Structure 1
Amino acid sequence: MLILSGCVNDEGANLPSVEDRVSNAVQELRDKLTEPQNGWRLDYRPTGETGAFLILLNFNEDGTVRVQSDVTVNDGLFIDQVIAYRIDSSQGVELIMETYGVFHYLFELQQASFGGEFEFIFEGEENGNLIFASKTDPSNDVTELVFIPAQESDSDLISTEATVTLGEGRFQGEDLGGIGSFGNFNFHLQDHGYLLSTVFDLERRVVKFLGIAEGADMGEVTSTENIEEIDIEAPFSLSDERIILDQSVTTTLNGNTFEIKELPIGEAIVSLESFCLGQEDSVVNFSSTNSDIGSFEANSSLFQVANNFTVAPDDVYSINHVFLYDENDNSITDQIEAVFPEVVAFQWYHGVEVADSVFNGVGFVILDEFNNAEFFLRGFDFTQSGNFIQITFNGNDLITDENPTQEQLDGLEQLTDQIFSGGEVYVLELLNINGLFEFYNPCNKHKGFLF
């Protein structure tokens, strides 16, 4: 028994300590990370619903890593940056990006609900690739990251001009209201005389193909009214200034079928265009060609040949009144609350049946002292072509307060006259929340969101 006991104890004594095993595992991962001459390539998808961000990582022994990416926000901070990293052991061997960089930026998007991560658990090695898992994802939806040894030419694939061009197609202010960042573009397919309308969610890397129509511009589309709705969202990545769709999108018009797999993005040319008499907006144009759609000119027109803002039974759109803005992107909350101190929402009735008739109107909802809702809505007639709406106010108002004050009635008229001055409105479909729209008045640059 003494001999057996001694053998067991000798074997246990030869095992490395926990601290040594952890130290060895940390050093082993450090050696793997710093080994490739050109570093690592990561096509990073924070969730299964987003497109991919191209990120190149070149780790150094001194605890720094050079990070190159195709994320151009923050004045290009994340295009090429050296930050600190750390390898630790908590839930396993972990890679932690210490200094603020592109991973932290993606983590913070949409109030930290985007799915980005800057702490990763090392899962192992497979066919020369390093496999990591997102540390804070829920257990039933963990993002896997595959580090692939980079080629020297991979840095040439990082697209920066494309993201800048797409970002210039935005009509809402920079991160206005925390809603997100969207670029609207029409592609005039010159070989066919068609107009293809798209909207790009630049944060999630998702493009929505709204519709295709016969005609080169709004006037021609409106006159022919030959429109085919597409209504398909597709995640995408960027490579060498091209949009690469995860899955191709197919559409047909007049017997011509297009299978769209990628879209080259040319250099942006910024010009001024008048969408309402006496007012001009900056628009972006670029031209290119590819085998999917032939030669095309793209521009960031407000017009969309189709979207989901359509007249249907009981279409009531609402938003908190703070999400209404003037031409300087300042909320007009104070002006609204000066007339309606108890205001809780702005509403848009778009073909809603009220008292056996169809009602169209815009205005405000307030709560009285008993928490009952009261509506102050100003009726209008309208015509609609695609997402362009021409509004004319009429006397068919909906006022649910039995004794509205003259100040309330005058205030409702003044506020709606201010928001809808000129009567021309474009309603742009956004992507990150189903049923979310932005309306924009090109006559005085007032705008707001609708849900």
Structure 2
Amino acid sequence: MSRYLVIYIFLVLVFFGCTGDDSPNLPPFEERVSTAINTLRSDLTAPVLGWRLEYKPTPESGVYFMLLAFTDKDVTIQSDVVANDGFFFEQTIPYRIDNALGLELILETFGAFHYLFDLDQATFGAEFEFIFKEKDGDNLIFESKTDLSNPTILTFEPASSDDENSFSREIAANLDAFSTVSPQALVAVAPQQQIILEDRNISVFWSLDTQKRNITSQFAAEGTDIEDVLMNGGILLNHSSGYALLDGFMVLQEPLFFSLAGQNITIERIALEDFDMNAPNLCPTEPANGPRYQGRSPGAGDVTMLSSLLSTDGQGFQPNVYTVNVQFVFDGDGSSLSQDGIIAEHFPDASGFIFLYGVQLTNPDIPIYSVGLILGNGDIYVREFEQTVTEINRVKINLTNNFYHSGIPKPGDQQGLIEVTDEIFAGGITYAFDLPVTGLTVYRLFNPCNRYEVFLVQ
């Protein structure tokens, strides 16, 4: 048989196979899409009490608790996002269901999800558009649209009548009070906290990011008083966890375990019960008006949560010569003192700021512990402070009346330097924090008494 005849017979068979009556009589594509959209809309609106969602935008973040109730066009979102004076506690916004990468649930106007999306200049990782994956029993499963690897999974569970009682919005709002005493210039530092385990005579120090809801536990030490902690030293923890606020508890998604002073400690959740603003101030010269939470952690006993500035992030601030462009000395409002402040008032030609931390320069007349300015003509003018050390990251600055000028000071310069340094280091205590900068070693000194910040380059 000719090979051309074989090809002809094959083509005839394919033709009749494609035109036979065995193929399914599918409805048009547009009709199938419309049916799928209507089915998902029907599923979304089915639960009488709406849906319960514990939204965890990224693997590192904590959980935001939400209740969502859908109608055919709108969704009412209740959340524990406390920003904007409770604006996101309850909102009704429009939504739509599209078909692009699949069925997509799109929340259309600004709400809690959009606020989380905007965090860190929209780099946090939250979203407001989600792809529907499947129905799993009574639950609806969605996933994030733009996470190409390791997408965020959202599980919509039918809400119960008790779920609304799980909101812990007051706790979320009170925790924000701890963020008022931390460095903010250029790049904000997450608030530091001291978690006192009263029954164990142990303190845990962690940083708390109330926006992203995560905790980084840095170290633990014996003692409940800061001076005892500094004297006793401690152990590094290097532990991170997201957290949720549910039913009056701060719940760590990754429980903290450690051993210290012959005791095994587990912190999995903390019942936060009593809040006040009467805790000791981080500035020793100010009245007691700091935030304080008291509660209990199952297995660890009574807990007191206080603001702190102790952090291992600044323990690398050690004796060296530190300088910086004078523009990087800021007041408590984040304004440069060289542009509109006391440095501009007394030394408008100053070009730099210098901090000599226990280092002898070529000229033995320059105090090895001193701080001051580099003037426009290259002269340095410094004021001595007493010998000090870095205690974890705390650095005490007790100024003396010994000065050094590499040239000849003008009338009034000494009084000017006294006023500049007295203002920057009012209260006599600072805390060092490192600032990650590629190719440089940079620290900032933060003064809790006036919230001034000095950036220093090693």
Partners of 2:337 and 2:284 in 1: how far apart? 24
CA change 1:13–1:226 in 2 (3 A) is closer
Asked if the contact 2:444/2:455 (under 8 Å) is kept, the reply is: yes
How far did 1:280 drift?
Answer: 3.5
CA change 1:313–1:299 in 2 (3 A) is closer
1:349-360 equivalent positions in 2, closer than 5 A: none
Out of 73, 77, 82, the residue aligned to residue 83 of structure 2 is: 73
C-alpha RMSD of matched pairs (Å): 4.3
CA change 1:321–1:111 in 2 (3 A) is farther
1:225-264 equivalent positions in 2, closer than 5 A: 225-264=232-271
How far did 1:265 drift?
Answer: 1.6
Residue in 2 aligned with 1:31? 42
Out of 417, 421, 426, the residue aligned to residue 431 of structure 2 is: 426
CA change 1:206–1:274 in 2 (3 A) is closer
Q: Which moved more, 1:52-61 or 1:14-23?
A: 14-23
In the superposition, the TM-score normalised over structure 1's length comes to: 0.79
Q: Which moved more, 1:325-334 or 1:156-165?
A: 325-334
SS, match of residue 19 in structure 2: helix
Aligned-residue sequence identity (percent) comes to 31
Q: Which moved more, 1:30-39 or 1:270-279?
A: 270-279
Residue in 1 aligned with 2:446? 440
Partners of 1:258 and 1:272 in 2: how far apart? 25
Which has the greater radius of gyration?
2
Partners of 2:262 and 2:96 in 1: how far apart? 58
Deviations 1:142-188 (A, max 9, x none): 32322222232222222212212211112348x94474573333222
Partners of 1:21 and 1:128 in 2: how far apart? 23
Is the counterpart of residue 162 in structure 1 residue 171 in structure 2?
A: yes
Partners of 1:308 and 1:322 in 2: how far apart? 24
Asked if the contact 2:185/2:453 (under 8 Å) is kept, the reply is: no
Asked if the contact 1:250/1:258 (under 8 Å) is kept, the reply is: yes
Partners of 1:404 and 1:252 in 2: how far apart? 59
How far did 1:392 drift?
Answer: 3.6
Partners of 1:292 and 1:258 in 2: how far apart? 8
Is the counterpart of residue 215 in structure 1 residue 223 in structure 2?
A: yes
Q: Tell me the amino acid that sits aligned with residue 100 of structure 1.
A: F
Asked if the contact 1:86/1:97 (under 8 Å) is kept, the reply is: yes
Partners of 1:415 and 1:49 in 2: how far apart? 42
Partners of 2:192 and 2:112 in 1: how far apart? 25
Is the counterpart of residue 382 in structure 1 residue 385 in structure 2?
A: no
How far did 1:194 drift?
Answer: 2.5
SS, match of residue 152 in structure 1: coil
Consecutive unaligned residues in structure 1, runs of 5 or more: none
Q: Tell me the amino acid that sits aligned with residue 256 of structure 2.
A: V
CA change 1:118–1:379 in 2 (3 A) is farther
Number of equivalences: 436
In the superposition, the TM-score normalised over structure 2's length comes to: 0.78
Q: Tell me the amino acid that sits aligned with residue 425 of structure 1.
A: T
1:69-148 equivalent positions in 2, closer than 5 A: 69-137=79-147, 139-148=148-157
Out of 42, 45, 50, the residue aligned to residue 56 of structure 2 is: 45
Is the counterpart of residue 182 in structure 1 residue 190 in structure 2?
A: yes
Deviations 1:375-421 (A, max 9, x none): 9887753234343321145799999xx989969x8777754443212
Q: Which moved more, 1:69-78 or 1:142-151?
A: 142-151
